[in-house]
Amino acid sequence: MEVVCDLESIREGLKPSDWASRPLSVWRYRELLPIGRRIEPISLGEGGTSLHPCPRLGGMAGIRRLMVKNEGENPTGSFKDRGMTVGITKALELGKGWVACASTGNTSASLAAYAARAGMRCTVLVPKGGVAYGKMAQAIAHGAEIVEVEGNFDRALGLVIELAAKTPELYLMNSVNPYRLEGQKTLALEVFDQLGGRAPDCVVVPVGNAGNISAIWKGFRELEALGLLKPPLPRMIGIQAEGAAPIAKAFKSGSSSIDPIERPATVATAIRIGKPASWKKALRAVRESGGLMEEVSDEEILSAQRALASKEGIFAEPASASSIAGLMKLRESGEISGDEVVVCVVTGHGLKDPDVVVKSFKGPMGFQEFLSSMMAMGAGARSTQRSPSRA
């Protein structure tokens, strides 16, 4: 399902100067959101995330104009909040009191927060052992009912869809709910505004269940239909993790459908998905925009995560860093040129999944080890040894 906006009548009533007078946020673009005028949004201050120029990382990748849209700056630390503020406000408008989702972690953290804000009951189904600690802590803190499912995300999604079909009072909040995608499309509108009324040449997005890339593409298409954005529109580039890449594989083989992966595997738990619900929309977005899909290994993901954190000060969880890993790979293969204006979407904060960093990267050292390393490097070691209290 997809929300179709009556863009003709929106265009007549729309003054983009109204947008400019409002803070950069999801609700700046209220005219394009399917919520009645009299409803007060359930909001925690979502959207309005920074578009950071990344010259050092760009230098590493060989791209002159690289920017990162840091969705980790959202209230619960991921892009999911854009969709959730609209989805929960819609649930309120429809008179719902109980919301549910299946999740690899971020959707459940976000839904739990917004449901708490709206005073709704919240049930989340998660793959047992497959959710990063930070995300689980968020869902617990916000008081969600957390159900662990034996199996992976795809099974949890199947179960919650079945449950929703049998339980009319339960409102399903996965991205198969098209209202959520309406909130997520605002990322495109923000990037357009942040670039001074222009689009980049390409937008690189991590892909799991595949709702986000299609939502972002919808945002650009609506800007074009409103006469605000002139073609060419950006190429949409979707990145999946090698062990969970059914859409990338379908794209590369030119197939019109995906082969689901029974046991998806990747360090990027957020996108450990073998049967993405919105695969058709994602393939359409990529093909219509002249973009492409690529897959990256866990090693490439972790090294991109480290590069982004250490070169630019942006700490992203592994799934989020897959866009950076994909960019590096596509620059190397020549699919992205060094002159293109590139926006990489970094979808969630690194603190969501601290375990992976502690396990994969060099951790702390003892003071003696530190002194030895100073000695090995020569200068500076002696002065530190003489006055350890100042170290």
* Interface with ligand F0G, residue 348, by CB under 6 A: yes
* Alpha-carbon torsion angle 338, 193, 324, 259, nearest 10: -110
Residue 87 makes contact with ligand F0G by CB under 6 A: no
What residues contact 276, with CB distance under 8 A and at least 6 apart?
207, 208, 209, 210, 246, 247, 258, 282
Residue 270 as a binder of ligand F0G (CB under 6 A): the answer is yes
Candidate list 76, 152, 175, 289; residue touching ligand F0G; CB under 6 A: 175
Nearer to ligand F0G, 259 or 339 (CB): 259
CA angle 43, 10, 40 (to 5 degrees): 20
Between 57 and 316, name the residue whose CB sits nearer to ligand F0G.
Answer: 316
105 binds ligand F0G, rule: CB under 6 A: yes
We find the least distance from the C-beta atom of residue 206 to ligand F0G, in angstroms, to be 4
Check residue 209 for interaction with ligand F0G (CB under 6 A). Answer: yes
Q: Please report, for residues 206, 363, 386, the alpha-carbon distance to residue 381 in angstroms, rounded to integers and kept in the order given.
A: 44, 21, 9
* Beta strands 98-102 and 170-172, pairing class: parallel
CA dihedral 31, 35, 41, 44 (to 10 degrees): -80
The end-to-end CA distance of the chain, in Å, is 60
Q: State how far the Cα of 32 lies from the Cα of 11, in Å rounded to an integer.
A: 10
C-alpha to C-alpha distance for 215 and 181, rounded to whole angstroms: 5
Which residues lie across from 343 on neighbouring strands? 67, 203
Total site size for ligand F0G, rule CB under 6 A = 22
CB of 154 to ligand F0G, least distance (A): 10
Q: Applying CB under 6 A, which of residues 199, 271, 286, 325 lies at the interface with ligand F0G?
A: 271
Unique residue bearing structure tokens 């309406």? 182
* Beta carbons of 306 and 361 less than 8 angstroms apart: yes
Question: How far is 366 from 153, CA to CA, in rounded Å?
Answer: 40
- Cis-peptide into 231, omega within 30 deg: no
Residue 186 lies near ligand F0G (rule: CB under 6 A): no
As measured in angstroms, the least distance from the Cβ of 239 to ligand F0G is 9
Among 49, 74, 78, 85, binds ligand F0G (CB under 6 A): 78
Encoded amino acid at 112, one letter: A
- Is 347 a binding residue for ligand F0G by CB under 6 A? The answer is yes
- Lookup: tokens for 378: 């020569």
Shortest distance (Å) from residue 45 CB to ligand F0G: 19
Residue number with CB closer to ligand F0G (43 or 110)? 110
Closer residue to ligand F0G in complex, CB, 188/271: 271
Q: Can residue 208 be called a binding residue for ligand F0G (CB under 6 A)?
A: yes
Say whether residue 269 binds ligand F0G (CB under 6 A).
no
Token pair, residue 154, equals 């795809």
Q: Segment 279-338, which members bind ligand F0G (CB under 6 A)?
A: 317, 319-320
User: Is residue 177 a contact point for ligand F0G (CB under 6 A)?
Assistant: no
CA distances from 25 to 184, 193, 220, 243 (A): 11, 11, 16, 34
Q: How far is the CB of 72 from ligand F0G (least distance, A)?
A: 9
Nearer to ligand F0G, 81 or 368 (CB): 81
Q: Identify which of residues 58 and 208 has a Cβ nearer to ligand F0G in the complex.
A: 208
Residue of 25, 76, 106, 123 interacting with ligand F0G (CB under 6 A): 106
Q: Say whether residue 103 binds ligand F0G (CB under 6 A).
A: yes
Report the residue number, 303 or 384, with the smaller CB distance to ligand F0G: 303
- In whole angstroms, how close is the CB of 179 to ligand F0G at the nearest point? 14
Q: Which residues bind ligand F0G (CB under 6 A)?
A: 78, 80, 103-107, 175, 206-212, 270-271, 317, 319-320, 347-348
